[in-house]
């Protein structure tokens, strides 16, 4: 047992330097004043100080801070939400404007209590951001909306610049890791986005360190490509609390570099892979093409 604990001690490359400068504290203060939630805080993202303090980027989490699902890897609160705040989209847009963002990620808790899974609020948030900051590109990261494609159409009608939905893990581990979600439903959702909007880039992410085999990771890559996914991110799973799934092993940075090389060779347009990579990590760097395209459309 002692040997196993020693093996699973967090390695040096996962230790981060905190940067709580005025950019970080100022952004945190504004989030509280606007009564906004970020997945950066709720999910205990290890990159929060880099993104908030250095890059001035953030991933807004709409539809409240209580999720109707209880995924075994996620630190977001679980329960039954009691409210739907239709003023939230405008508050998010105002914050984006005040921060001077050029790219923003909008995600949400899963709202299985809502008929459309929150798609209408997603759409209004996109439109509110566009009204205030026309050149800002918007990436969305919704739940699977229980596979309801009418809800997906509602969201896609607002024309997000990137559609992101995570399969989270390999097929074999999905039931153990995710709650009320299936591997195939997530793949079908990503495929359907391309059918609705062929030119919208799609993106998905997996965590490693949960007990998957390398061959299963490669199969997940093939599955995503078979469903026309353009961008993939791969990061190390970190146990947020003792109540969540334990880390089976930590991948070395060289292993992430190899996985990135494999993904790009297989045909992904872009891949981020590393110990601290998360779905929204350096998202601003992944959308240069989308940003240029949007600016040209608005200048025509």
Q: What is the DSSP track for 137-186?
A: EEEEE---GGG-HHHHHHHHTT--SEEE---BS-GGGHHHH-SS--HHHH
Nearest to 216 by CA among 231, 191, 234: 234
- Closest by alpha carbon to 162, among 204, 124, 127, 131? 204
Find residue 285's DSSP bridge partners: none
Rounded Cα–Cα distance for residues 224 and 161 (Å): 19
Percent helix, percent strand, percent coil in the chain, to nearest 5: 45, 15, 40
Residue 67 marked as a ligand binder: yes
136 is in an annotated binding site: no
103: phi then psi, degrees, rounded to nearest 5: -145, 135
Residue 271 assigned to a binding site: no
How far apart (Å, rounded) are the C-alpha atoms in residues 40 and 62? 12
Sign, CA dihedral 225-229-234-237, equals: negative
Binding residues, as ranges, are 40, 45, 51, 67, 71, 74, 280
**What are the binding residues for [4Fe-4S] cluster?**
40, 45, 51, 67, 71, 74, 280
């Amino acid at each position: 047992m002692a040997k196993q604990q020693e093996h699973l001690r967090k390695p040096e490359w996962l230790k981060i330097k905190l940067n709580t400068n005025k950019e970080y504290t100022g952004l945190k203060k504004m989030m509280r004043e606007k009564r906004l939630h970020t997945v950066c805080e709720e999910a205990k993202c290890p990159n929060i100080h880099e993104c908030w303090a250095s890059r001035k980027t953030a991933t807004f989490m709409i539809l409240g801070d209580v999720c109707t699902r209880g995924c075994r890897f996620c630190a977001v609160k679980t329960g039954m939400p009691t409210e739907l705040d239709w003023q939230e989209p405008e508050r998010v847009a105002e914050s984006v404007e005040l921060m001077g963002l050029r790219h923003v990620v909008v995600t949400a808790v899963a709202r299985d209590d809502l008929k459309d899974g929150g798609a209408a609020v997603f759409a209004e948030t996109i439109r509110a951001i566009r009204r205030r900051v026309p050149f800002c590109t918007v990436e969305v990261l919704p739940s699977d909306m229980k596979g309801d494609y009418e809800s997906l159409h509602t969201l896609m009608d607002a024309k997000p610049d990137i559609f992101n939905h995570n399969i989270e893990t390999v097929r074999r581990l999905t039931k153990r890791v995710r709650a009320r979600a299936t591997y195939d439903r997530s793949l079908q959702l990503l495929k359907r986005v391309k059918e609705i909007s062929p030119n919208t880039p799609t993106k998905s992410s997996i965590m490693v360190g949960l007990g998957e085999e390398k061959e299963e990771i490669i199969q997940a890559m093939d599955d995503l490509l078979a469903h026309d996914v353009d961008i993939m991110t791969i990061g190390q799973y970190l146990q947020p609390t003792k109540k969540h799934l334990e880390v089976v092993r930590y991948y070395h940075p060289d292993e992430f570099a190899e996985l990135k090389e494999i993904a790009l060779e297989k045909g992904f347009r872009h891949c981020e892979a590393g110990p601290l990579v998360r779905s929204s990590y350096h998202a601003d760097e992944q959308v240069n093409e989308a940003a240029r395209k949007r600016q040209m459309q608005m200048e025509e």
